[in-house]
Chains A and B, each alone.
Chain A
C-alpha cells in the first residue's frame, strides 16, 4: 500500500461548481500536511498547509481527519484557472515530504 493515496481523476466539473478531493495516508504518526498544485509541465507549488482545526483561503478549504487518516481539499465556485493537478503531501515526522500521485481537475466552461 502506498504511503499517500489519491484518486487520480480526472474530475471534470462545470465552472461555478464545488468539488472536493480526498487523500489518505498510512502513517498515523504523520505530523504535517499540505496541498500543492501542479500545472501541466510545470513544477508543483504550495497551495495551502492543512491544520488540525481546518483552514480556509478564499475559495479553498482544507481539512484533516486524523481518526480516519485523510485530508481533504474543497474548492468552491470553481474557475477555469483552477484546472490543474492537486497533490497532497504528508510528512511522516522525518522531514521526508511524501507526495500523492495527484488528482486532475478540469473545470469546463
Chain B
C-alpha cells in the first residue's frame, strides 16, 4: 500500500532547540501539504508545495518556521528555535494534482512534538 511516511513519530525537545520533521510523499504525488493540529485550533494549514515549488506558506510563523522540498521524495519542516507553544501534532499530506479539484489527500501518521 502506498503511504506518506513521516519521521520522527514522536519528538520531545527543550525550548530553543531546532526541530526538523521529514516527510516522504507517495511516489508520483506532486502536491505536498504541512498541517499542524492542536485541540484548540484543529488542523491548520502551514504550507504547501506543488511540483516542489512553495505555493503558500502564509499559515506559517516566518520567524521560526521554514518548509522546503529539496527533491520530489522529501519535504522538511523546520522550527528554530522551538517554543512550548509549538507543541502539537504535525501532519504531512500529499495528493496527485491532475488539475482538477477533486483529489484525495493522503496523510502521514504525524509527528507528535512536545517542546518543554
**What is A's interface to B at a CB cutoff of 8 Å?**
31-32, 36, 42-46, 49, 87, 89, 91, 93-102
Contacts and interface: CB of A to CB of B under 8 A. Distances in A.
Given A95-B50, A101-B42, A46 B31 contact: no
Helix, strand, loop or mixed for chain B's interface? strand
Contacts of B25: none
A100 B41 CA distance: 9
Interface of B: 31, 33, 35, 41-43, 45, 48, 50, 55-56, 91, 93, 95, 97, 101-102, 104-105, 107-110
21 contacts: A42-B109, A43-B91, A43-B107, A43-B109, A44-B107, A45-B107, A94-B56, A95-B55, A95-B97, A95-B101, A96-B45, A96-B56, A97-B93, A97-B95, A97-B105, A99-B35, A99-B43, A100-B42, A101-B41, A101-B42, A102-B43
Helix, strand, loop or mixed for chain A's interface? loop
Contact of A93 (B97, B101, B104): B101
